[in-house]
Structure 1
Amino acid sequence: MALKFAILTAGNIATHMAQTVSQMKDEGIECYAIAARSTERAAVLAKRCGFAIAYGSYEALFEDEHVDLVYIGSPHSHHYEHAKAALEHGKHVLCEKPMTVNEAQAKELFALAKERGLLLVEATWTRFMPFVPALQEVLKSGAIGEIETLTCSFGVPVAKKERIAQPELAGGALLDLGIYPLTMAAIALGEPKEICGVCTKTDLGVDAQNSISLSYESGAVACLTSGIHAQLDNCAVLYGTCGKIVIPHFWHADGFTVYPAEGEPKEYSFPHDFTGYEYEVRCAAKAIAQGQTECPELPHAETLRILHQMDTLRKAWGLSYPFE
């Protein structure tokens, strides 16, 4: 039986997801429903991507007993509220990153999901992409020796977007962009021993740009940067004792290049099947079919670990949101 897939909101990221799911019908994913704050807006996206139903309220979607899985693409500030409502109505949930704005909210949702026997997974798409296990295998092989330093930046000029600018929507660089360099560091180096950082803030009080340093038991360090004003190189580089690995567009990479200290560079290529969102959908569908409440590619503990890191940084920066 096909998995009835529903999307909450009809914004930019929801549109990308709808376009992706519309190409997955042969994989048992049914384009079932889209909900927005107006029926008209939902209907436009539903028609464009072949979804059967358009709802003009989120509550109507939650109350539809046929919905199996809800993808939540609302602003960061609303993830907790919407994910909780979906779970309370018996829906599996794939929630856009960050899962919630802080660790405490996520712990509550994960407990609820386990209590109800429902899947709840954070849609940090990087975690589900095929380059990740390949990268980890290359690192294990010792192709560049021991990792000494990781540098990673993600910056785009998005400061004027409402969801980025407004503290009420949990805007700023860290939760929207900085989560990706933190994720890259976790993929390559695991759990840090120590984390610290600095940030500058906008006039409205969200972080405009930040610089984060992490250290590890192995002796490695990670230097991470994110920002909402300037276009950065948006690349990850892993420097080892015997070479380096370069990952362009690391947050949705379709490959990477290994540069050994001796010998020729080697390229690894993993073209996306559709948009890159398909991998998280497949993992969620597989987990649901197997009766799991979390995905092995991004278990609850790992989501909580990254949220804890961001909580630690925000506390040091004196950065909180009005609803916290």
Structure 2
Amino acid sequence: MTARIAVIGCGWWSTYAHLPALAERSDAQIAAVADTDPERLAAAAKAFGVPAAFTDTARMLDEVEPDGVVIAVPHAAHHPVARLALEHGAHVLLEKPMTIEPAHARELVALARDRGAELLIDYPWHYNPHVLALRDTIANGTIGPVEHVSVLYASTVRELYRGDPEPYRQVFGYTVNAPDSRTYSDPALAGGGQGQTQVTHAAALLLWLTGLRPRGIAAFRADFELDVDLADSIAIRFDGGAIGTMSSTGAVLPVHEEIARLEIFGRDGHVLLDVNAGTAAVHHGEGLTELPRLPAVERNPEHAPVHNLVDLALGRGRNGSPAEIGLGAVQFVAAMYRSARESTIVDPTRL
């Protein structure tokens, strides 16, 4: 049996990660590609040998009737395109952030449930072996109830927010298509900067790892010379009494390693996770358990979400990055922006 997967959006990440991941699978066929830009579309279709290429997404879905769809379009288009794909009965892997508006994310969760379709959000860290192991460790009570969390995510994206992807060509590897200059820099398309592009990763990982539910967010943002936020600093209050902080910046220079660290403290111990370094440790009542250092390819398993989509389309496995977590991340980021704008504490569950 072969899963017929269509890809909507043929920009940088789609041609760097999603299409190559599909090409790895002998049990998957790239049934079609779609993009509103004819040049970008033609380049992707040629690079991956896809004969069915469309500039009209609705027509593609009508004619191809794919089993699954990968959606990698600008943030502002996530909701309408995902809704269309779900209405056509396809399983969907949707790029992060799931949507910009929480109401749109809730609508997609409900629609997927009603149609019996799997809706995954593209969060590769959820497939990191350390994350999966620590998630079980926290869930089984090894460190007791979580009381405090600290998260830092520092990444290399400042020039994308400036609208200039060229300085990152060597680092990011624009193998087929480079990012459009507006994708990350135009607030109308991106919905924001570091919050929509990177805090969404950190928030989703925190929610997935701990099962915590944020109930109060107080945030500051700093745009500096940009039209979108470069740095965000957030204090968080959770159901059950836990508190924590999250900070994120896109200012890491391309010659340096990005940083993604989580520290989670419970009543009976704590866990430390350094995603980019590939290290993790559990500090508990009986001492210290260090997990084996991960090879680089397993730290940010970029192809894993696509493989998960293919498996689900073939009736195998479980959703490793469910839409409910995507909704939680959308609410988190929306609360962060509102708090920074209004100088108040915001409950994300009310958005």
Return the TM-score normalized by structure 1.
0.81
- Alpha-carbon distance in 2 for matches of 1:119, 1:234: 28
Deviation at 1:47, TM superposition (A): 3.4
Compared CA separation, residues 207 and 30, structure 1 to 2 (3 A): same
How do 1:113-132 and structure 2 match up within 5 A? 113-132=112-131
| 1:309 matches 2:332 | yes
Aligned pairs (5 A) from 1:61-210: 61-140=60-139, 144=143, 147-161=146-160, 162-169=182-189, 170-186=191-207, 187-202=209-224, 205-210=227-232
Q: 1:243 to 1:61 in 2, by over 3 A?
A: same
Counterpart among 293, 318, 323 of residue 341 in structure 2: 318
> Unaligned regions of 5+ residues in structure 1, if any?
320-324
Letter of the 1:17 partner, please give it.
H
- How much has 1:270 moved relative to structure 2? 5.5
Deviation at 1:59, TM superposition (A): 3.9
Structure 1 position 156, deviation (Å): 2.3
Equivalent in the alignment of 1:322: none
Letter in 2 for 1:45: A
Aligned length: 313
Label 1:159 to 1:165 Cα distance change in 2 as closer, same or farther (>3 A).
Answer: farther
Return the offset for 1:262.
Answer: 6.8
Distance 1:141 1:108 in 2: 32
Q: What whole-Å deviation, never above 9, does each CA across 1:104-137 have from its counterpart, x for those lacking one? A: 1122223333344433332222234443331122
Separation (CA, whole Å) in 1 of partners of 2:251 and 2:299: 29
**Residue 235 (str. 1) matches residue 261 (str. 2):** yes
1:281 aligned onto 2:280: no
How has the CA–CA distance of structure 1 residues 302 and 234 changed in structure 2, closer, same or farther, with 3 Å as cutoff? closer
Q: Which moved more, 1:172-181 or 1:235-244?
A: 235-244
1:235 touches 1:248 (CA, 8 Å); kept in 2?
yes
Q: Which structure exhibits the higher relative contact order, with contacts defined as CA atoms closer than 8 Å and separated by 6 or more residues?
A: 2
1:14 aligns with 2:14: yes
Q: How does 1:42-61 map to 2 (within 5 A)?
A: 42-61=41-60
Whole-Å separation in 2 of the counterparts to 1:110 and 1:143: 32
After superposition, what is the alpha-carbon deviation per residue over 1:285-318, rounded to whole angstroms, capped at 9, x for unaligned? Answer: 34444499xx643444333222222222222223
Gaps of 5+ in 2: 161-181, 343-351
Query: In 2 relative to 1, CA 46–212 (structure 1 residues): closer, same or farther, beyond 3 Å?
Result: same
Shift of 1:244: 4.3
Return the offset for 1:239: 3.9
| CA deviation vs aligned residue, 1:80-116 (integer Å, no higher than 9, x gap) | 1211222334433211011110111122223333344
Structure 1 residues 276 and 61: alpha-carbon distance in aligned structure 2, compared to 1, 3 A threshold:
farther
Alpha carbons of structure 1 residues 152 and 50: separation in structure 2 relative to 1, 3 Å:
farther
Partner amino acid, structure 1, of 2:7: I
**Are residues 1:23 and 2:45 paired?**
no
Comparing 218-227 with 280-289, greater Cα deviation is found at 280-289
Correspondences of 1:248-263 after superposition (within 5 Å): 248-249=274-275, 256-258=280-282, 263=287
